[in-house]
Chains A and B, each alone.
Chain A
Amino acid sequence: MTQLVTLEGQARPAAPPAPWRLIAGERPLVFVVDGSRLFGVEPEFFAALQEERPEAQQELLGAVVEESRQRDFAAGLPEPAAISLNIAQSCNLACTYCYADEGRFGGAPQFMPLEVALQAIDRLVEGARGRRVTVGFIGGEPFLNREVLYGSVEHARERARAHGCTVGFSVTTNGTLLNADDVRLLRERGFAVSVSLDGGAALNDRHRRARNGASGFEAALAGLRPLLENPGKARVAARATIARDDLCVAERVEALAAAGFIEIGVSPLRTGPDASLVLRDADWPRLLEEMMRAAEQEWRRVRAGAGFRFSNLATAMKQLHTGSAKPLPCGSAANYVSVSAQGGYFTCHRTIDDRRFSLGTVDEGLSGWRRESFLQERHVDRQEPCRTCWARYLCGGGCHAEVLSAGRSGCDYIRGWLEYCLRFYDRVLRERPGLLGVEVV
């Protein structure tokens, strides 16, 4: 926000953050920023609030605004309960937009030695002190380093048993290398499997191809089909990246659902090696339109009794229902850290081998001090222009890695989407409350 200067040349104090957001609609809503609390209000009262009548504002203040409590949110940080192991900093695909430099992470291909993985797992389990832990496998393509993946899973189970905690697993894969044993492992160990696929064959293969040019879609589905047909204890989700050359969303969700996925999420491309694919200012309003079109498509299914499958919407519903209010965009450096192939701790998988995000090594342990200062600096209340944005505790200020490399863009898109989701939530609450776990009285 531009700082205003008075005639005397004194800097004016910055405007205080707005305590609420008024959302017009069939049932007028007031979203109170502190505590992410959503209230319905009577239409006449809403009109008075829109006209900024002091008595109405006073009445709302009295009813909904609590004294905000200052929390030193990063002090006394517990050890993370989740890690991702970058077991293969290499990939068999060469996706044009990959943040990891087509899977190479800006350097020569590297594979994590087993001992590094085991050491990281030991530290995770010990640090968690009985809390449930999650071990994620990530790359590049993790199944290029199958032996370490299998060894890590068994070791983590054994260590968790010894420490009396439970362990969950996740993997982000392109699915192209899965064999029968892999499918069995994913099923039996209840993996959360996140598959990178952008949509149907044509859309997907535009950017996701093997190095020899072969279709990434066909190869992925060949590997994934047995798992999609019978996932066992696994949960299989698709995650589509939206580049600016095709902003459609509904069609991607539809195609991936047809391929057998029950959870499908999309994510716009904000940074990448090919600047022509990265979304620009003019693209955001169009993407918002596409997101809302996909959500309306979802609503028709949901109203007819189906469950959610468009995970951007499902996650938003869950967070809005519980009133999630977070000072950070994600758990990175707090409850989650990532380990590079060489055993360095980084704030997340997006920041691997970037020294600015280094948090120590598995040999020496995580630096509590660095984690704390990293998080303290990034509290959304200390960010501009986030500090005064009504959506700051829902958004958290945007991906740390992306903000650093590309700044904050598409904020209107995020606010537009969240406002749409708030309206959507009200719709669900009235017509399908069971989806939110709310009992119908």
Chain B
Amino acid sequence: MEKIFPLNLTAQAAKVVPGNPVTTRLESGVGNCFPGLEYDHRNLDRRFFPGLVFEFGDVTGAPLVRVDTNDPDLDPATFEGLPADAPKPAVQTALRTALNGDPGKALRQGSWVLASITQGSRTITVTDQPGLTVWRLVRSLDPGPVDIVLTRDAGTPKKISLSGWRRRFVSTKTGVISGAFQPGELTQSLCSPWMHDFRDCACTYWASNHPDIVLAEQVPGADPDPVWEETPIDWLRSDRALARTAAAVGTEAGNRPAQMDHYEINERWQDLSIVLAGHEVSNVFSARQAESANPFASPDELAQKLADLCELEHAVALEYLYAMYSVKDPAVAKGQALKEAVAFVRHEILIIAVSEMRHLRWANQLIWELEQHAGLTTPGKKFGPSLGIAAQVPGAKGPRKPDLRVLDKDTLDDFIAVEKPSGTLDGAYAQVLATLRDPRYPPPLEQLAARILADGMEHFTRFREIQRVLAPFAAGNPPAYLQTLVKADAKSGKAAFDLYQSIVADLRSAYALGDMEDAASIARARATMFELKAEADKLASAGMGVPYF
């Protein structure tokens, strides 16, 4: 007799049921974060038709790989007590007889492929479809009657038709996966951690805890080299010496020779690093700047700092937007290489500028949350919305006044200095983040600040990349990638300036309402941004930039 037996539903659910491995549980699966990585879904469908096993891969069509007459779906006992799920006894008997008889014998010889599937009144021919398309079609079958046709090129017969049913992969009564699936079958094509098939993953779809490209280890206490900090390296590299670590190249084939081979992974799997926040960690994790920054003393001080940061975000967003127009329009740039370079650079700067605008919105949201929502700041003191322009911004040679400039070397150096990890912006948000960790602040605020901080790191990388891409065209005065751009005078720039002012006014009224924001103002500001872009394009074609300030 069993000693301990579950009575109520939660007790029954907690009992480990034979058939479902523990890894299929949500709490134990990587599927927590990446649904689908618990098993390869195709492995369910390869047994969609009882008694047969297909393969859905890179080849055309779905080849039959095996006839399995031990399939429990062919056994009448499997469906006892499950009237709703049961195939008609006559259909089951006929299929079992066929697979144990001549058709089954024929199916074991030669190369058979799935030719067509019929369900209800619809028949789909799948012979010439790519394997993954056939899988997709099989995937959409409902549980219930299905007829299939298999064909082969040589031998007699060339064609076999079978009537059966789309398997129920999981029992509707117990939740147990069908016994047709053998141990390991559902996970067989996954790149399981710490196993040598890590090298052979064909889908290049890693979860975050088994990455292919990582950032190098951060040495605690050392002043981080920002370039090294942002250089992607190959996680599987065979030579683990820090001094000899090189940046990963852009192709899988390029990195291959430097990676551990299959058996090396088996032997040295413990050398593969844990990855935290993108960085390898080989020792005890040690907090860096974001974790160790000094918090602000009071909600008032925090709100004031955020208001200042808003002005800074605003100033640099405008500097970036202005500079973008100084880069040649790809349509007029001469030579394919330059065309591609300027198209890339303009696109990247625009992305960074838009991201700064988003930060402006988030930082204002933080202020609103502190001030209006949680009511943490001193009543009567007003910190937001903050949409002014900072009087000073960080630069490569120290603080400077914000300026609308073309994207020459000095400007680019200044932009990189603003976004540098551990630089002014990054450092200030680290302090904001450290402050918001205090439990008196609502938790979502901390998450918002963390997102801004993470974005800043990306801006730095993007500007570094811009610098690299422009380097071949940097000679000459002006460099070949630049076009003439002077700040438009009050008259020529009036239309654009007025549009910009109206955007700011709309944002101000929307941000004043925080997350209850006034959708009409936001929509209007967005629409005006398109008008501003058209106006800025017009000015740029005449060699002028928008006089934002």
Known: A75-B443, A365-B516. A45 touches B3 (CB 8 A): yes
B14 contacts A64, C-beta separation under 8 Å? yes
- Separation in Å of the A45 CB from the closest CB of chain B? 5
- A37 and B3 contact, CB distance less than 8 A: no
Residues of chain A contacted by B223 (CB below 8 angstroms): none
Contact across chains for B7 and A40 when beta carbons are under 8 A apart: yes
The CA of A40 and the CA of B374, in the complex, are separated in Å by 49
- CB of B7 within 8 A of CB of A66, answer no
CB pair A60–B374 under 8 Å, yes or no, is no
Q: What 0/1 readout, one digit per residue, does chain B (63-92) give for beta carbons within 8 Å of chain A?
A: 000000000000000000000000000000
CB of A29 within 8 A of chain B? yes
Report the Cα distance A63→B11, complex, angstroms: 11
A331 to B433 Cα, complex, angstroms? 33
- In the complex, what distance in Å separates the CA atom of A369 from the CA atom of B515? 13
**Cβ B4 vs Cβ A30 within 8 A:** yes
Chain B residues with Cβ below 8 Å from A60 are 4
- Give the residue among B4, B7, B27, B373 with the most A Cβ atoms within 10 A: B7
A41 interface hit (Cβ, 8 Å):
yes
Within 8 Å by CB of A320, from B8, B14, B373, lies B8
A39 pairs with B2, CB closer than 8 A: no
> Interface with B: A5-13, A191-199, A304-312, A321-329, which one?
A321-329
- With the chains together, A86 CA to B9 CA distance in Å? 37
Q: How far is the CA of A36 from the CA of B13 in the complex (A)?
A: 11
Contact with A along B1-37 (1 / 0, CB 8 A): 1111111111101100000000000010000000000
- Name the distance in Å between B299's Cβ and chain A's nearest Cβ: 13
- Which residues of A from 334 to 383 have beta carbons under 8 Å from B? 365, 367-369, 372
- Which of B4, B27, B374, B444 has a CB less than 8 Å from the CB of A39? B4
> Which A residues are CB-close (under 8 A) to B8?
36-38, 320-323, 425
Using Cβ atoms and an 8 Å threshold, which residues of chain A touch B157? none
Within 8 Å by CB of B3, from A42, A323, A365, A367, lies: A42
CB <8 Å contact, B9 and A321: yes
Task: Report the Cα distance A30→B5, complex, angstroms.
Answer: 10
Please report the C-alpha to C-alpha distance between residue A98 and residue B451 in the assembled complex, in whole angstroms: 52
Q: Does A69 contact B (CB under 8 A)?
A: yes
One of A32, A72, A75 near B11 (C-beta < 8 A) = A32
Q: How far in angstroms is the closest Cβ of chain A from B77?
A: 16
B21 to chain A, nearest CB (A): 16
**Min CB–CB distance A174 → chain B (angstroms):** 37
Q: A262 CA to B374 CA in the complex, in Å?
A: 46
| A245 in the interface (beta carbon within 8 A) | no
Q: Is B224 an interface residue (CB 8 A)?
A: no
A426 pairs with B7, CB closer than 8 A: yes
Is B220 in contact with chain A by the CB < 8 A criterion? no
Contact B442 A38 (CB under 8 A): no
Which residues on the A side are within 8 Å of B3 (C-beta)?
Answer: 41-42, 45, 59, 63
Q: Output the residue of A40, A59, A66, A325 with the most chain B CB within 10 A.
A: A40
Is the C-beta of A201 less than 8 angstroms from some C-beta in chain B? Answer: no
- CB-CB under 8 A from A63, the residues of chain B are 3-4
Contact between chains at A369 and B374 (CB < 8 Å): yes
Cα–Cα, bound, A368→B369 (Å): 11
Interface residue from A30, A38, A42, A372 paired with B2 (Cβ < 8 Å): A42
Which residues 154-207 in A have Cβ within 8 Å of B in the complex? none
| Other-chain contact of A429, B7, B14, B516 (Cβ < 8 Å) | B7
Q: Is A35 interfacial (CB 8 A cutoff)? A: yes
Contact between A64 and B4, CB atoms less than 8 A apart: yes
Give chain A residues whose Cβ lies under 8 Å from the Cβ of B373: 367-369
A371 to B153, CA, bound (A): 69
User: Inside 8 A of B13's CB, which chain A residues have their CB?
Assistant: 323
Q: A42-B1, A69-B27, A369-B442 are in contact. Are A37 and B516 (CB under 8 A)?
A: no
Report the bound CA distance from A300 to B424 in whole Å.
77
Q: How far is the CB of A25 from chain B (nearest CB, A)?
A: 12
- CB pair B7–A38 under 8 Å, yes or no, is yes
**Contact at B10–A322, with CB atoms within 8 Å?**
yes
Whether A41 touches B4, Cβ cut-off 8 Å, given contacts A64-B14, A323-B9, is: yes
CB-based contact B443/A37 at 8 Å: no
A399 CB, min distance to chain B CBs, angstroms: 25
Find the residue from A45, A72, A368, A369 having the highest chain B CB count within 10 A.
A369
Please report the C-alpha to C-alpha distance between residue A32 and residue B442 in the assembled complex, in whole angstroms: 34
* Shortest distance from the beta carbon of A47 to any chain B beta carbon, whole Å: 12
Docked CA distance A32–B6 (Å): 11
**Once the chains are docked, how many angstroms separate the CA of A18 from the CA of B223?**
50
Minimum CB distance partner of B376 in chain A: A369
Residues of B within 8 A of A59 (CB): 3-4
Within the complex, the shortest CB–CB distance from A151 to chain B, in Å, comes to 26
CA gap between A367 and B515 in the complex, in Å: 12
Chain A residue numbers with a CB within 8 Å of B442 are 369, 372
**In chain B, what residue has the closest Cβ to A441?**
B81
Collect the chain A residues with CB atoms within 8 Å of residue B2's CB: 42
Establish whether residues B4 and A37, one from each chain, have CB atoms under 8 Å apart when the complex forms: no
Residues on A with beta carbons closer than 8 Å to the beta carbon of B1: 42
Chain B residues with Cβ under 8 A from A426's Cβ? 7
Whole-angstrom CA separation of A321 from B5 in the bound complex: 15
A325 to B374, CA, bound (A): 31
List 24 A-B residue pairs with CB atoms under 8 Å apart, sorted by A's residue number.
A29-B7, A30-B4, A35-B11, A37-B10, A38-B11, A39-B11, A40-B5, A40-B7, A41-B4, A42-B1, A42-B2, A59-B4, A64-B11, A69-B27, A76-B444, A320-B8, A321-B8, A322-B8, A323-B11, A325-B10, A369-B373, A372-B442, A426-B7, A429-B7
8 shortest A-B CB distances, which residue pairs?
A323-B10, A37-B11, A38-B8, A38-B7, A37-B10, A45-B3, A35-B10, A42-B3
For the complex with contacts A35-B14, A37-B8, A429-B7, 17 further pairs of A-B residues with Cβ separation under 8 Å are A35-B11, A36-B10, A37-B10, A37-B14, A38-B6, A39-B5, A39-B7, A39-B11, A40-B4, A41-B5, A42-B4, A63-B3, A66-B14, A321-B8, A323-B10, A325-B10, A369-B373
